[in-house]
Chains A and B, each alone.
Chain A
Amino acid sequence: MAQFKTLKDAVADNLRPGDIAAFEGFTHLIPHAAAHEVIRQGIGDLTLVRLTPDLVYDQLVGCGLVKKMIFSYLGNPGVGLLRRVRDAVENGVPRTLELEEHSHAALANAYEAGAAGLPLAVFRGYKGAGLKAVNANIRSITCPFTGEELAAVPAIRPDVTFIHAQKADRKGNVLIEGILGVQKEAVLAARRAVITVEEIVDDFDDAHPNLTILPHWTISAIAVVPGGAHPSYARGYYGRDNAAYVEWDEIAADMDRFRAWIETHVMQAGPEDFAGRVETLKGKM
């Protein structure tokens, strides 16, 4: 049953050291505010799952909170590489990072299998791909009806999934629109789900019947954090802060500059600071 909480309590009550956690959002609606709260609380030894680790995991990895990362695309979209993740992979700084690498199709299927309560995902993939040789969790299965050999990966069942969404109603039902990514699957696959939202509305009575809505009883906690996806975007609220993605490339290139940035923008800041960061991005796509 969804409980409305402060972000601080929502994170403290649902994430524990050593958990498997997913922070999902495919370019759109990335739950940055929730990740910053995790950094402030210093909850570590995490195994993080996410198709596109993006800036959000570059920050968690750079802070030394991540033991293992399960992912499928390791870039700063439109800009380049993730420099904190690279430093961890290539030099073990600030700690070594175990990688479990997949394709998007595999992880999307694995979340769906988790949501469906299945132990594995079966799909036609990884044909001739090198990842099979370096990831023991990529195996094959023979179709009992046709004999076709198909790829198999284990289902993903996070201890907790974090997402950001446009709105919740007063009961705690949550509405997501625009680019949906894997958020619905990641929430339904998880044992606990924490959702930050732009705002609370009275009800969804006038919403289209086929909108993507997560019922309140699938959610553990909701925190209202306007701007909480920044520098990602929230359709209908504010656009992507492309300049921040470009700027991140320089910040993350240097460990001292990274630490200073985290100190100023995360440790000495709070969820209430996100609204101001999207002020000039309102009304943009």
Chain B
Amino acid sequence: MANADFTPDEMMTIAAARALSNDDVCFVGIGAPSAACNVARLTHAPDITLIYESGTIATAPSVLPLSIGDGELCETALTTVSVPEMFRYWLQGGRISVGFLGAAQLDPFGNINTTVIGDYAHPKTRLPGGGGAPEIASSCGEVFITMKQTKRGMVKAIDFFTSFGHGKGGSDRQDLGITTKGPTLLVTDMAVWRPNPQTKEFEVNSIHPGASREAIAASCDWDVVYAADVGETPPPTELELSTLREIKARTAAAHRRNAA
């Protein structure tokens, strides 16, 4: 049964979780991707393999980690390997089907910037940088992106190419010698987007309940393109919503306890 009482944030996490399947081996970014991946694991994809770059393979945390190296990830993992092994054998070795990333700045071709706002040598704002993302973006079978819509975040042109998506579109990715699919999905708090098969520019495929074309345009700096057939994202089910709320509540309680 659908629940009419949910936030755009919850809809974003749940729509992102739905894109993952039981067979996926998923390299999980921290923050919004982590919530989505664990909701998938706790609902329709109990056997999904979640991997964090700290080396934890097939982890099943009961609360969402604050960092990619929280102890909970190691305690609940099938095995924990070193960071060089993680990047060499598992990521570069082609064992990961989906990389799930967040973004500070995103362009319509799925290129991501988490490095600097402004000039690299004299930045207006120095952001954290890439971490594992440059190689996650090129070595995972495909890449899912999730972020909240803002005009500052979804821009026509990013200031720095931290992670390569589809470049300027078309065959840019293959032309660079990259054999993986790259970004195939963007889930925001307003819509589900997929790249146009030819141009590789993100198009809105479905609009979340409560959102609108006006609201999407007002919170995205690029000119929004819509797929030929735009539907409404199915609202969260009771199970999806309760699973998300329970893990968020457990997470808040655990982090309060640790802080006490």
Interface residues of A (CB under 8 A from B): 26-28, 51-52, 71-75, 77-79, 81, 85-86, 89-90, 101, 103-105, 108-109, 111-112, 123-131, 134, 148-149, 178-182, 184-185, 233, 235, 239-243, 245-246, 280-281, 284-285
A179 touches B135 (CB 8 A): no
Q: Which residues of A contact B177 (CB under 8 A)?
A: 127, 148-149
B69 touches A26 (CB 8 A): yes
Q: Which residues of B contact A77 (CB under 8 A)?
A: 30, 66-69
B129 touches A184 (CB 8 A): no
Contact A179 to B84, CB < 8 A, known contacts A75-B128, A134-B121, A242-B259 = no
Compute how far the CA of A28 lies from the CA of B65 in the bound complex, rounded to whole angstroms.
13
Task: List B residues 126-172 near A (Cβ within 8 Å).
Answer: 126-135, 138-139, 160-164, 167
Interface size class of B (residues with CB under 8 A): 35 or more
Q: Which residues of A contact B73 (CB under 8 A)?
A: 179
B123 touches A90 (CB 8 A): yes
B134 touches A73 (CB 8 A): no
Indicate whether B203 reaches chain A with its CB closer than 8 angstroms.
Answer: no
Contact A181 to B161, CB < 8 A, known contacts A73-B128, A77-B68, A125-B138 = no
Min CB distance, A21 to chain B, in Å?
19
Contact A178 to B74, CB < 8 A, known contacts A81-B126, A243-B258 = yes
Compute how far the CA of A127 lies from the CA of B179 in the bound complex, rounded to whole angstroms.
11
Q: Which residues of A contact B161 (CB under 8 A)?
A: 128-130
Indicate whether B80 reaches chain A with its CB closer than 8 angstroms.
Answer: yes
A129 touches B88 (CB 8 A): no
Indicate whether B47 reaches chain A with its CB closer than 8 angstroms.
Answer: no
Min CB distance, A205 to chain B, in Å?
24
The 10 A-B residue pairs with the shortest CB-CB distance, nearest first, are: A27-B69, A128-B164, A78-B66, A77-B67, A243-B259, A75-B128, A73-B131, A130-B161, A285-B71, A108-B84
Indicate whether B176 reaches chain A with its CB closer than 8 angstroms.
Answer: yes
| 10 additional contacts (CB under 8 A) given A109-B84, A124-B138 | A73-B128, A73-B130, A81-B128, A103-B135, A104-B87, A127-B138, A128-B138, A128-B178, A184-B82, A242-B255
